[in-house]
Structure 1
């Protein structure tokens, strides 16, 4: 029996399957096809698993071994072997119970910025993924579901990176989810404002970046985003809140919401986000840590924070503005760099 390529059941991932390629996937590379079908494009399965089963010849197209670059033709039959990789949380069994540690559950209430019958606004700590996946046993969505006693529905209305801290909206009904989703589309009305610390003195003239962005991935490598003339349109607006020769505190507003947009645009400008492991400057980060006595010489975490969000309430349409102060972990670095956060983004007990 053939399975539709875009509807592969979770339970079938533990057995050999044969999938027939439908016309809309003709011309696609087999590695990209498998990345999507098996969930690796969304972090549910390590990409290395996909390239391993291709390299070992376990994937067959019309009974022939396939290379990652092999292009598909409509009607091809793909043999997909059993997936044997099962990290801390089994990506092949989405119904398996998720265990959130008590120390995270104890922090959940303090993360909530706003809650009503339709939505939840949370100030997510940096380092907490919004959802679980490969080697990530739980995420913000699991934490909040358990904290609220497993409500009938609670879904992410949008996402921010794992290492980025700040505001995330969760919907409590399908109607609210759809209404909020619309606002976060590229043409939507949601306004997202971030704070970031970058290396060096940000140029006063650089108030807007429109460098187009494209996702890139080498075989077996994690995906990156690069500036490319053939990429998708991306527009970021910058305002300098404080700056000196060593670093700058920027307020950043997104006009579009591309993956890693702020991190790539700042790095492209020659002023990477402090603590950025993917697009930043490790040597500059280390040098900064060594110069900081209050930060104990450690390398900083990603200094990117979703500080303010303007949306319309999904039920009555009234404008709502939410704010989240910068994380306490920023305080020693701000002191070291002699940079001052505006009062609206400051921790309540922090003296400037």
Structure 2
């Protein structure tokens, strides 16, 4: 092992738009991911002398302070299993020279860290070793399936981040099965959301007057006995937004172990539901040449079987 010194790095155009955690993982090769996330949480990493969270996006001329850390001379990279890599290969919905869009399988995190040795991005880097700058454009919860966009070039990453900041330029549609009869007149949930991290480290989000402005539009797609399939369009982009807004409306998402009711989740298992019924069904945005691209992700087989079982009850 070798002892590093305090290091200050000025961000150039090549790193603009990159998440601070991904930047650190690249710079601090040999440092365990858990250690990297720990120094960010503890505020030992500073950007322009200020604390930041792991999802902070680097800007041009930012100055990143990296504390002394013990760096392993050699560390064998954790390689996703062949089955995971094959699953990701089958999940590709669209690919060109600038980006990849996959139908992310449920149960796989978008990236490693916080106790996970790898995620989708690590698997894709293994699958596409010639693309050295693969970066996540956005995130999906581990249990959520559906459209996930990965940029192959930093220029594309910045282009899509600019569109995400102007929410009207990107349209994401989700399908969710919720508990109860969602009223047809309930077309918008407008409730501020506040993040809260428990002592266990688990991240929770709740509706609170001090939270950030959050809005989700809903449309009923189908009805079943005591269940409703809805389409959700997040007008803003907050952590766990759709899940908490459904809960706030009195209709938690089926299979939600974090925000749902245990009794409901147990009841839903009789229809074969084993996970959160939330699926990113489509995403649409503008390409650098001005053309619009829309990609749709078919409903995974496990969720389609749940709907079939519910229809048998009609």
Q: Same fold (TM over 0.5)?
A: yes
In 1, distance between residues paired with 2:155 and 2:132? 13
Structure 2: gaps of 5 or more residues: 9-19, 33-38, 56-66
In 2, distance between residues paired with 1:268 and 1:262? 10
CA RMSD, Structure 1 to Structure 2 (Å): 3.3
1:267-346 equivalences under 5 Å are 267-290=247-270, 292=271, 295=272, 300-313=274-287, 315-338=288-311
Report the Cα offset of residue 108 of structure 1: 2.5
Report the Cα offset of residue 202 of structure 1: 0.6
1:182-193 equivalences under 5 Å are 182-185=162-165, 187=167, 189-193=169-173
Q: Which residue of 2 aligns with 1:139?
A: 119
The reply to whether residue 114 of structure 1 matches residue 94 of structure 2 is yes
Residues paired across the two proteins, number = 274
Q: Which has the higher contact order (CA 8 A, sep 6+)?
A: 2
Which of the numbers 136, 148, 152 marks the counterpart of 1:156? Answer: 136
Larger radius of gyration: 1
Secondary structure in 2 matching 1:168: strand
Task: Decide whether aligned partners of structure 1 residues 181 and 168 sit closer, same or farther in structure 2, where only a CA change above 3 A counts.
Answer: same
Asked whether the 8 Å contact 1:249–1:339 carries over to 2, the reply is: no
Instruction: Say which structure is richer in strand.
Output: 2
1:188-199 equivalences under 5 Å are 189-199=169-179
In 2, distance between residues paired with 1:287 and 1:40? 42
In 2, distance between residues paired with 1:337 and 1:235? 29
The reply to whether residue 127 of structure 1 matches residue 107 of structure 2 is yes
Task: Decide whether aligned partners of structure 1 residues 153 and 94 sit closer, same or farther in structure 2, where only a CA change above 3 A counts.
Answer: farther
Asked whether the 8 Å contact 2:109–2:120 carries over to 1, the reply is: yes
In 2, distance between residues paired with 1:276 and 1:259? 15
* TM-score when normalising by structure 2: 0.77
The reply to whether residue 34 of structure 1 matches residue 14 of structure 2 is no
Asked whether the 8 Å contact 2:30–2:74 carries over to 1, the reply is: no
Report the Cα offset of residue 137 of structure 1: 1.6
Structure 1: gaps of 5 or more residues: 15-30, 44-79, 84-89, 341-352
Report the Cα offset of residue 186 of structure 1: 5.1
Secondary structure in 2 matching 1:130: coil
Secondary structure in 2 matching 1:98: coil
